[in-house]
Chain A
């Protein structure tokens, strides 16, 4: 359910997400305020800790629903081209365990008979990437040019490895909320996409219905950390994951951030899943 590209950088992010306090800016780590420079390390520790049991925990916490969200995310994007020989280049950021990349490749193959589409999977955490490589070793895409794995920071993708105006599709699923500076991530996404390329983000969001929100809060803050301690012996990591969801901007605010990064959105710019528990935001670089 939660996928992250994590990095704490010393530069300030937007005021909403980092505050000036003398010589060291602060940012949020769940509900805690911490020095911005230490967020990367802390988030990295969280995901190194959960990497090996990530998929099991996602299934347990969401009762398997995360798979439906990811399926719908990919179905709406409909990646793939019916014309033979047309290469569609995709980049999946915070894609450590490879489940989005695999879905993209399977969708393109099954729906469009597209075997030219490629996905570059990027994650800052090598442990999560190793889980992804392991997953792909069981598939037909292993050792093909259709998938590659890269260690990288979503806020600063190395230009040599990720040149500007390269990709047709940029996906990031359940990862952007763990970044120190969301605007920097969006800026990098805009840079690496071609004109006409699409940014698509699947992320937890704000539940619109107040009654449902209460039920969701109760479940999130009591059941999920408990499952973390039972199934993964790591309550604190899952407590952080739940808190980080609450700190993420609302649908409208995040859509505005996407527009400020230079993307053009549809009339609304997002689509809620399950009443706003998750949300798909899209934008096009024109």
Chain B
């Protein structure tokens, strides 16, 4: 029932935001709903938690739905590029763009200011999930440290693109394109540097062996 209510709440976010009122009104949108009134505050608290906890539940459910929607019509992983997957995710944001800054702020707040006044893990988890899904949909076959490096790179690109979208929605997709291109060339440069460093290390090791030091 919680899942059904959350799904019914998504279309209401555009008009009511990520609020407890949205969850309350979601009961009226349930199929064959016996409810003639929105849920009371204590019902929302009982189902989703008190205070901001209910709002966080709604926001996280909406973000998770965004991950699900990234695939679009892709039948299986590998049918989509990272570019298209990230664009799909940015598209999910469009109807509720003006509500998102507050949503991210709610996720970052903590109930007690000690030891830290804000909570950064939700933001990192959000971009990490998007990046992972984008890599899966693109059929990424990286292993080992490359797996992490690839996802970290995509996460950084997406985080920057999403922040840009919040302030300048019309140029968000062009910004994403430019970031992906820079990321690809940066990846080549890092790979070249890595190869060169490996060459230098082998050379010094050979010198050390020839001198009897190793």
Interface size on B, residues (CB 8 A): 20
Counting CB contacts under 8 A, is B34 at the interface?
yes
Interface centre among A78, A88, A169, A200 (most CB of B within 10 A): A78
Query: Which 3 pairs show the lowest CB-CB distances between chains A and B?
Result: A282-B46, A264-B1, A195-B34
Counting CB contacts under 8 A, is B117 at the interface?
no
Question: Cβ of A267: which chain B residues have Cβ within 8 Å of it?
Answer: 2
Counting CB contacts under 8 A, is A197 at the interface?
yes
**How would residues 38 to 50 of chain B score, 1 for a CB under 8 Å from any chain A CB and 0 otherwise?**
1111110111111
Counting CB contacts under 8 A, is A168 at the interface?
yes
Closest to B48 in A: A266
- Which residues of B come within 8 Å of A, CB atoms? 1-2, 27, 30, 34-43, 45-50
- Which residues of A come within 8 Å of B, CB atoms? 76-79, 81, 88, 168-169, 195-198, 200, 264-267, 282-284, 286
Is A197 a contact of B43 with CB atoms below 8 Å? yes
Is A284 a contact of B46 with CB atoms below 8 Å? yes
Is B47 a contact of A77 with CB atoms below 8 Å? no
Interface of B is mostly: loop
Is A198 a contact of B46 with CB atoms below 8 Å? yes
Complex: how many Å from CA A139 to CA B48? Answer: 34
> A195-B34, A284-B47, A286-B27 given as contacts; is B1 within 8 A of A77 (CB)?
no
> A195-B35, A196-B35, A286-B1 given as contacts; is B40 within 8 A of A266 (CB)?
no
Interface centre among B41, B42, B49 (most CB of A within 10 A): B42
Complex: how many Å from CA A77 to CA B47? Answer: 12
With A78-B42, A196-B38 given, can you name 6 additional A-B contacts, CB distance below 8 Å?
A: A76-B50, A78-B41, A168-B42, A200-B46, A265-B46, A266-B46
Is B2 a contact of A77 with CB atoms below 8 Å? no
Question: Cβ of B35: which chain A residues have Cβ within 8 Å of it?
Answer: 195-196, 286
